[in-house]
Amino acid sequence: DGKVALRRKSCHFDDVLRAHGAMTFQDVLATTTLGWNEAHYAVHAAARAFVSCQGGTAIIASLFGGTNLIYDVWPGSGERSTNEYQRLHATFSNASIRVATSFARLLQLARELPASSALGLGLGRGAPRSRRASD
């Protein structure tokens, strides 16, 4: 859709991916025969750390344990105002929840992760990959 390429150029996105041996979800879909939902959950099951955004992706990432860095810059965020991230998300799987309310803070939190973490929504080192039949 062109947006991924723009984000990669504008926010040191590739630096974060390289530092953590991660891929974008679009990259994962290009390397598998799994459907979107199957691939989504397979990626989460293989990762130990996640970058998600406020809403559904934050909930899904919180189901798999590990560390979930949630990017939430929406001024009216109900999750922040009701402490939902710590009150609910953290209890789904004993996940460690870190909330970033600015992009600078998100980068700081990502840099604090151990370099050996598989960072999602990406596939970490050693995670299984399958090829499309057309490859």
Tens-place pLDDT, residues 51-100: 888 888 888 888 888 899 989 888 777 787 777 888 788 888 888 899 99
Nearest Cα residue to 72 out of 64, 128, 45, 61: 61
Report, as an integer, the average pLDDT of 5-27: 66
Give the SS3 label for residue 31.
Answer: coil
Domains of the chain by start residue, with CATH: 3-120 (3.40.50)
Q: Is residue 32 over pLDDT 50?
A: yes
Lowest mean pLDDT of 24-33, 36-45, 56-65, 74-83, name the range.
Answer: 74-83
Counting residues of the chain whose pLDDT is more than 70, the rounded percentage is 71
CA–CA separation, 35 and 26 (whole Å):
12
Contact 119, 50 (CB under 8 A): yes
Predicted confidence at residue 24, as pLDDT, reads: 76
CA–CA separation, 38 and 34 (whole Å):
6
Predicted confidence at residue 7, as pLDDT, reads: 53
Give the SS3 label for residue 50.
Answer: strand
CA–CA separation, 50 and 57 (whole Å):
10
Mean pLDDT (the chain) is 74
Predicted confidence at residue 11, as pLDDT, reads: 58
Contact 117, 48 (CB under 8 A): yes
The per-residue pLDDT for range 113-129, each reduced to its tens digit, is 876 555 554 333 333 33
Which residue did the predictor score with more confidence, 6 or 21? 21
Q: Give the HSE-up count for residue 28: Cα atoms under 13 Å, Cβ half-sphere.
A: 27
CB atoms within 10 A of CB 48: 16
Report, as an integer, the average pLDDT of 11-15: 67
